[in-house]
Amino acid sequence: WHGEMAATRKTTPGFAIVEKYAVLVGGCSTHRMTLSQMVMLKDNHVWSVGSIPDAVKKARRAAGFSSKIEVECRDLDEAIQAATAGAEVVMLDNYEPEDLKVDAAKLKEQFPHVLIEASGGITETTAPGYFSPHVDVLSMGKLTQGYGALDFSLKIQR
């Protein structure tokens, strides 16, 4: 598989830099180190302005030409709207693996320059089912959430 694994943007408050560093050391990518590194349009952003094309247009005007814009999409129609509007990254969110592969292939055929990210419910166990030549990034919240903690003590034995 040609793509990369990435942590989602969600981190423990106060520990973001540590968790993101751990992700990098572990061989994966961070989604964004800070919110300023990329514009991410979620459903609330789209709903507040009325449509995906309008949200992308407003985001581009606010962020300028040098920032990437990613749009979270629930289906192929939304993904096509996002890519047509100029989003550089399209997140196919909460897809079943086989549906993802079909829609990612259709999207890449029409927009080969757009990065396709799969996200939502992907785990270490289910990740291989999402591998596709048309998916560039798999993002998993588990890389920065829900990990086990090491329990150790610094007490000196008497």
Gap between the Cα atoms of 75 and 149, Å rounded:
37
The verdict on whether 10 is a catalytic residue reads: yes
Gap between the Cα atoms of 69 and 101, Å rounded:
22
Structure tokens at 53: 């094309």
DSSP letters for 35-101 = GGGEEEE-HHHHHHHSSHHHHHHHHHHHH-TTSEEEEEESSHHHHHHHHHHT-SEEEEES--HHHHH
Among 10, 42, 57, 68, the active-site one is: 10
Q: Annotated catalytic sites, by residue?
A: 10
